[in-house]
Amino acid sequence: MPTKKIIGKGKKRHTKKTDITQKKIKNLKREIKHLKQELKEKNDKLLRSYADLQNYQKRIEKELQHKEDETKKKYLSELIELNEVLKRAYGDKDPKGGLKLILNNLENFFEKEQIKYIDCMGKTFDHNMHHAVTTIEKNDCEDGTIVEEIKKGYLVDNKLLRPSQVVVVKKKEK
């Protein structure tokens, strides 16, 4: 008889272990289901974010192309205007009046676009604004002074567009 009690207790223990294992399995299945749902939601969110990013990129590209087209259109219309004035000046018996008109148009265009001439004659050489084409030796000027402007330099919105090409003084060595 003592054997029966041990077997009976073993079955109860086995049943308790089975119940605990079943509960753990049930909890794990529930957790897996929850994690799968969470993964599905996060994946969906990721795909939507990616689609939003692609749409944003397309919109920016379209806006940039539009701005580029508008800028091109603006400058081409200015060139057309200049071309017409040049043709009138070419056909004129006295081209000086036409050339003056062309220069005035160009000066107005530069002013409108905030293009400014870099005044450099007699100033000290600045490598940020000037390009030294050559140097000459002189004693009557300070070292590094600009004495000749070969090509004018320009700023646009106070940023360098083209440096002045200049001749700079270097003191004679004794």
Q: What is the CATH number of the domain that holds 94?
A: 3.90.20
Percent of the residues in the chain that have a pLDDT greater than 70, as a whole number: 91
Domain shared by 151 and 66, yes or no: no
Domain shared by 3 and 88, yes or no: yes
User: What confidence score (pLDDT) does residue 134 get?
Assistant: 93
Domain shared by 23 and 1, yes or no: yes
Helices (H), ranges, 92-150: 95-112
Q: Give tens-digit pLDDT for 118-172.
A: 999 999 999 999 999 999 988 877 889 999 999 999 999 889 999 999 999 987 7
pTM of the model: 0.57
- Higher pLDDT: 95 or 148? It is 148
d(CA 105, CA 19): 95
CB atoms within 10 A of CB 163: 20
Where residue 11 falls among pLDDT bands split at 50, 70, 90? low
Host domain of residue 130: 116-174
Domain shared by 36 and 97, yes or no: yes
Kind of pairing between the strands at 159-162 and 154-156: antiparallel
> Does the pLDDT at position 89 exceed 90?
no
Domain shared by 91 and 22, yes or no: yes
Given 60, 92, 113, which residue is the final one in a domain?
Answer: 113
Q: What angle do CA 124, 125, 131 make, to 5 degrees?
A: 155
Q: Give tens-digit pLDDT for 17-35.
A: 888 899 999 999 999 999 9
Domain shared by 120 and 65, yes or no: no
Question: Could you identify the residue written with the tokens 């003191």?
Answer: 171
Contacts 24+ apart (CB under 8 A), 153-161: 153/117, 153/118, 153/120, 153/129, 154/110, 154/115, 154/116, 154/117, 154/118, 155/115, 155/116, 155/118, 156/113, 156/114, 156/115, 156/116, 157/114, 158/116, 160/128, 160/129, 161/115
User: What confidence score (pLDDT) does residue 7 get?
Assistant: 44
User: What confidence score (pLDDT) does residue 46 get?
Assistant: 97
